[in-house]
């Protein structure tokens, strides 16, 4: 029921007649449990006055009085939870004209927050908040965080002033305030005549008005102003970003190098083998990430496998199996929808099913309605119920605290760094030769033709240190029957071997003397 301006004028005129000292409703001080209530009237006095003034029956007078009470023109003193007029000795008071609905604008959220905060500071038995009021207070505390100190200060000051008033004035003031907010902030589902009129549908509006240049310019200005307006507090956004970085920086390959090595650089595939989709023994970092949230577990195939194995031990694996089946249904082809919907219902939802899941009756009714026209989204409500209430809030916390998870953490692989195979970047140190050092006694032995070879070796290009011990000793000792001299040069010191020592790698003349080889070398490259 929605009132027009003419109806408001009629109602306010009628209320002013009721307040007339001589011809109005009899108003006087009334007793309420040994407490004097000033300027109050009884319910049957109001009904009789309306019947005499308007010439109507009792039922019509009761209906009019209830409408006036719901609009906030008077309120019950003793009953603070309903705005109903009774034809008995119940006490009522006229609302101050300042608080009449159409005498002032609608109250804002700060005023409502002060009222609820004041109620929460008083005696909880008499002034305790109802459930919807407690939820509204929590929501206001979150939305008005920056002004909450001011709200608390106002509420404490009003509570202090209320203690100095008389008992009768306290009862009147409390009932007046409750009635005012009962009109402007009614409980959920309760009708209020102050509700705004519904917007008519598009088909009744007719042809839309053509927009002018001024309309477009005004809209552009509004959009420009909204661009610089912050939708979220910068402090909250920064806190969220910092918390996200602290949580996931350990798993970011840009922040921490992959272990044991980067396969794209070292050509070592150990990283890919350890972190495959499904592995027998996961790494410690992987198991540790499962403890962040259930989303990290179900998004990892190995984590989902271990989570399912744990639930099998707990005899509650039907929940995760149902959730996995519904996810598979969403990604199935259209030709398989009907068959999979029937299989899921027969296995998990049908009465007496082998793996029957536990869902509430309301969700089951919606699922039954969706089964009339089977689709890939028929079980979405049931899957969300299982995921949020059972898996996320019950099964997952037990999994993280279980011995199964602790065993996975204890047996997890801890990969270590491997040395890089290629020295990219020039910063890596060269690996020293692992070959045995040459025998000094052989180098200093002055026997026969070998000494000439030693002298020729000392005049060659390069350093003897760049040769391995085995090749050097073979060259000094004059090995005759060696068809190919083995070498033990490592990959890192190949670049240090000068081109002039190529004679030691197998191009020594067969059956020739070492001195002749040295002389031939001097003829080819000359003396230094």
* Cis amide linkage into residue 203, ω under 30° from 0: no
**pLDDT over 50 at 282, yes or no:** yes
Percent share of the chain, pLDDT over 70: 71
In this prediction, residue 190 carries a pLDDT of 65
Which one is predicted more confidently, 505 or 239?
A: 239
Q: Where in the chain is the domain with CATH 1.10.1240.60?
A: 109-164
Q: In what order do the strands lie in the sheet with 74-76?
A: 28-32, 35-42, 91-94, 74-76
Contact 329, 341 (CB under 8 A): yes
- 170-174, 240-244, 501-505, range with the lowest pLDDT: 501-505
Highest mean pLDDT among 174-183, 184-193, 345-354: 345-354
User: DSSP letter string over 470-520?
Assistant: HHHHHHHHT-SS-SS------TTSGGGS-GGGGGGGT-SPTT--HHHHHHH
Domain at 5-99: CATH code: 1.10.10.10
Q: Tell me whether residue 383 is exposed, middle or buried, using C-beta atoms within 10 angstroms of its C-beta: 0 to 12, 13 to 18, 19 or more.
A: buried
Q: Over 50: is that where the pLDDT of 515 sits?
A: no
What does each C-alpha distance from 120 to 131, 291, 292 come to in angstroms?
A: 12, 38, 36
Q: Which residues contact 480 (CB under 8 A, 6 or more apart)?
A: 511
Residues 85-124 have pLDDT tens digits of 887 888 888 887 767 766 656 777 888 888 888 888 877 6
Which range, 19-23, 140-144, 327-331, 413-417, is most confident? 327-331
For 425-484, what is each residue's pLDDT tens digit? Answer: 444 444 444 444 444 444 444 444 444 444 443 444 444 444 444 444 444 444 444 444
- Give the residue-averaged pLDDT of 170-180: 75
Beta-strand ranges (E) seen in 82-128 are 91-94
Residue 398 has pLDDT above 70, yes or no: yes
Q: Which of 27, 71, 67, 28 is CA-nearest to residue 46?
A: 27
Which residue ranges does the chain devote to CATH 1.10.167.10?
Answer: 261-411
Q: What dotted CATH number matches 109-164?
A: 1.10.1240.60
Segment 40-94, tens digit of pLDDT: 888 888 888 888 888 888 888 888 888 888 777 887 877 766 778 887 888 888 8
Q: Look at residue 420 and tell me whether its pLDDT is greater than 70.
A: no
For range 119-131, the mean pLDDT:
74
C-alpha separations of 145 from 171, 229, 401 in Å: 31, 18, 35
Give the residue-averaged pLDDT of 406-429: 67
Name the token pair of 252: 């970011």
Q: What Rg value do the Cα atoms of the chain yield, rounded?
A: 46
> In this structure, are residues 103 and 71 in contact, taking their beta carbons and an 8 Å threshold?
no
Reply yes or no on whether the pLDDT at 161 is more than 70.
yes
Report pTM: 0.40
CATH fold label, 261-411: Regulator of G-protein Signalling 4; domain 2 (1.10.167)
Domain with CATH 1.10.10.10 in the chain: 5-99
Q: Which residue has the tokens 């962040």?
A: 292
């Amino acid at each position: 029921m929605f009132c027009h301006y003419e109806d408001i004028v009629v109602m306010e005129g009628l209320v002013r007649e009721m307040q007339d000292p001589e011809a109005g409703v009899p108003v006087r001080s009334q007793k309420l449990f040994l407490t004097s209530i000033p300027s109050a009237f009884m319910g049957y006095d109001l009904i009789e006055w309306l019947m005499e003034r308007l010439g109507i029956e009792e039922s019509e007078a009761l209906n009019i009085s209830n409408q006036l009470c719901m609009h906030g023109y008077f309120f019950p003193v003793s009953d603070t939870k309903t705005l109903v007029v009774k034809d008995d000795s119940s006490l009522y008071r006229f609302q101050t004209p300042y608080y009449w609905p159409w005498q002032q604008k609608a109250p804002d959220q700060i005023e409502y927050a002060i009222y609820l905060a004041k109620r929460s500071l008083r005696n909880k038995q008499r002034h305790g908040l109802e459930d919807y009021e407690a939820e509204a207070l929590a929501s206001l505390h979150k939305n008005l965080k920056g002004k909450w100190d001011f709200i608390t200060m106002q509420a404490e000051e009003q509570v202090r002033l209320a203690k100095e008033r008389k008992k009768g004035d306290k009862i009147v003031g409390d009932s007046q305030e409750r009635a005012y907010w009962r009109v402007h902030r009614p409980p959920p589902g309760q009708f209020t005549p102050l509700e705004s009129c519904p917007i008519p549908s598009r088909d009744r509006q007719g042809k839309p008005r053509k927009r002018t240049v001024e309309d477009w310019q005004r809209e552009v200005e509004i959009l420009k102003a909204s661009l610089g307006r912050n939708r979220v507090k910068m402090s909250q956004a920064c806190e969220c970003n910092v918390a996200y970085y602290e949580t996931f920086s350990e798993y970011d390959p840009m922040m921490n190098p992959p272990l044991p090595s980067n396969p794209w650089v070292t050509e070592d595939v150990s990283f890919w083998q350890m972190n495959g989709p499904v592995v027998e023994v996961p790494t410690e970092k992987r198991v540790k990430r499962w403890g962040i949230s259930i989303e990290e577990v179900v998004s990892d195939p190995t984590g989902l496998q271990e989570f399912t194995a744990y639930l099998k031990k707990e005899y509650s694996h039907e929940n995760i199996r149902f959730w996995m089946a519904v996810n598979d249904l969403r990604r199935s082809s259209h030709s398989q929808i009907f068959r999979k919907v029937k299989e899921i219902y027969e296995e998990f939802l049908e009465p007496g099913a082998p793996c029957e899941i536990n869902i509430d009756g309301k969700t089951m009714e919606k699922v039954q309605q969706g089964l009339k026209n089977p689709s890939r989204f028929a079980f979405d409500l049931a899957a969300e119920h299982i995921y949020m209430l059972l898996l996320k809030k019950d099964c997952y916390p037990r999994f993280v605290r279980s011995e199964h998870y602790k065993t996975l953490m204890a047996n997890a692989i801890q990969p270590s760094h491997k040395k890089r195979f290629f020295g990219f970047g020039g910063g890596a140190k060269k690996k020293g030769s692992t070959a045995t050092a040459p025998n000094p006694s052989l180098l200093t032995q002055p026997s026969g033709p070998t000494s000439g070879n030693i002298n020729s070796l000392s005049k060659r290009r390069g350093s003897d240190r760049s040769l391995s011990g085995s090749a050097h000793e073979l060259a000094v000792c004059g090995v005759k029957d060696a068809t190919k001299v083995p070498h033990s040069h490592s990959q890192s010191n190949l670049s240090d071997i000068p081109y002039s020592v190529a004679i030691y790698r197998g191009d020594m003349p067969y059956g020739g003397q070492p001195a002749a080889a040295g002389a031939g070398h001097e003829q080819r490259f000359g003396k230094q």
